[in-house]
Amino acid sequence: MKKVLSIILAAGLALGAVGCTSSKGGDTGKAKDDKTIVIGLSPVPHKEIVEAAKPILEKEGYKVEIKEFTDYVLPNTALADKELDANFFQHVPFLKKTVEEKGLKLTYTVKVHLEPLGFYSKKIKDVNDIKNGAEIAIPNDPTNGSRALRLLETKGIIKLKDGEIVSKLDIVENPKNIKITELDAPQLPRALADVEGAVINTNFALEGKLDPLKDALIIEAKDSPYANVLAVREDNKDSEKIKALSKALNSPEVKKFIEEKYKGVILPSF
C-alpha cells in the first residue's frame, strides 16, 4: 500500500510540474506576442517609412510584421477587430470621419508625414487649358474628395460652399461646366487616360509612376492639415509596443529618411 501511495504521489507531483511548465510557457508566449508589432499600411510611402523605423524597433527587441492594404476601408476594420496593433495610411480628418460613421474606438498617437494632393493630366499641360465640359476625377471618400475639390477651387476651376466636408453637390460656380467623377482613390492613376485630369493622393501617384514635383499641375500647399498618422485602438494606445512604434516613427532617423528619400515630395510632420 505504501508503494502504491508513493507512486500516486509521484505521478501527482509530475503532473503538477507539467502544469507549471505549460503555464509558464503560456506566459512566455504572451510576452513574445507583446514584442511583435502587427501594422497595416499602404505600400508607398508608408511601408518604406516603417521599414526605415524597423532597425530602431529591432534594437529594442521588437519584431515588426507588416500587412499591406490597397484600400481605405479594410485597415481600420482590421484594426478595430484586433487583427492589427496599428495602421498607417490615413490622415486625421479621414480617421475622425471613419470613427464617427462606423463607431470604431480608434484614435492616433503621432503625426508622421504629409502627402500633398495633386492634380494630374495626360491631356493638358496647364490648368488654364481645361476644356468646357471636361471630366475631372477625384477620390470618392468624403475627406479626400473635399480636399480635391478645394484644390481645384484654388485655381478658380470651381467655387464651393463653405464647410470642412464638401461634395460636388456643393459647387456654386462652375464656369467651364466641369463634370466631377468620383472614383476609388487607387483607381485614379489608371483613369488618367480616360479623363481630362484627376486629383490623386501622393501615395497612389507614386505607385502610378507620377512625380508630384514634376507632373502635378496643381499641388497642395505645404501647410496642409492632412498629415498621415499612426492609428491605434483606444485600448492599446498606451501599450509599451505602441509607445515604441510611435517613438521610432518620430525619430531623427526616420525624419532624415523621409527628407532624403522623397526630396520634398513627401514631408515629415514632426
Asked if the structure places residue 17 within a domain, the reply is no
Residues 114-148, buried b or exposed e (16+ Cβ, 10 A)?
A: bbbbbbbbeeeeebeebeeebebbbbbbbbbbbbb
Asked if the structure places residue 212 within a domain, the reply is yes
Quick one: average pLDDT of 7-22? Answer: 38
Residues 237 and 205 in one domain: no
Residues 237 and 193 in one domain: no
Average pLDDT, the chain: 89
Region of poorest pLDDT, from 1-15, 100-114, 203-217, 225-239:
1-15
Region of poorest pLDDT, from 19-28, 97-106, 184-193:
19-28
Residues 90 and 128 in one domain: no
pLDDT at 26 over 90: no
- Looking at residue 10, its pLDDT comes to 43
Residues 215 and 244 in one domain: no
Q: pLDDT, tens digit, for every residue of 138-150?
A: 999 999 999 999 9
With cut-offs at 50, 70 and 90, classify the pLDDT of residue 2: very low
Asked if the structure places residue 140 within a domain, the reply is yes
Answer left, alpha or beta for residue 242, where phi above 0 means left and psi between -120 and 50 means alpha. Answer: alpha
With cut-offs at 50, 70 and 90, classify the pLDDT of residue 27: very low
- Looking at residue 33, its pLDDT comes to 57
With cut-offs at 50, 70 and 90, classify the pLDDT of residue 5: very low
Residues 188 and 132 in one domain: yes
Residues 53 and 139 in one domain: no
Residues 159 and 235 in one domain: no
The larger pLDDT score, comparing residue 133 to residue 5, is at: 133
Residues 110 and 241 in one domain: yes
pLDDT at 11 over 50: no
| Whether residue 139 has a cis bond before it, omega within 30° of 0 | no
- Looking at residue 8, its pLDDT comes to 37
pLDDT at 221 over 90: no
pLDDT at 14 over 80: no
Domain residues for the domain of 247 are 35-115+226-268
- Looking at residue 224, its pLDDT comes to 83
Domain edge (last residue) among 178, 199, 219: 219
Quick one: average pLDDT of 51-57? Answer: 98
Question: Which CATH number fits the domain that encloses residue 39?
Answer: 3.40.190.10
- Looking at residue 29, its pLDDT comes to 36
pLDDT at 25 over 80: no
pLDDT at 7 over 60: no
Asked if the structure places residue 28 within a domain, the reply is no
Residues 135 and 72 in one domain: no
Asked if the structure places residue 83 within a domain, the reply is yes
Residues 124 and 204 in one domain: yes
Asked if the structure places residue 73 within a domain, the reply is yes
d(CA 206, CA 266): 10
Asked if the structure places residue 237 within a domain, the reply is yes
Please state the domain count of the chain.
2
Asked if the structure places residue 254 within a domain, the reply is yes
Q: pLDDT, tens digit, for every residue of 61-76?
A: 999 999 999 999 999 9
Residues 134 and 195 in one domain: yes
- Looking at residue 223, its pLDDT comes to 79
Domain edge (last residue) among 197, 219, 241: 219
Residues 208 and 127 in one domain: yes
With cut-offs at 50, 70 and 90, classify the pLDDT of residue 222: confident
DSSP state string for 145-206: HHHHHHHHHHTTS-EE-SSSS--GGGEEE-TT-PEEEEE-GGGHHHHTTTSSEEEE-HHHHH
The larger pLDDT score, comparing residue 117 to residue 10, is at: 117
**Residue 187: partners with Cβ closer than 8 Å, 6 or more residues away:** none
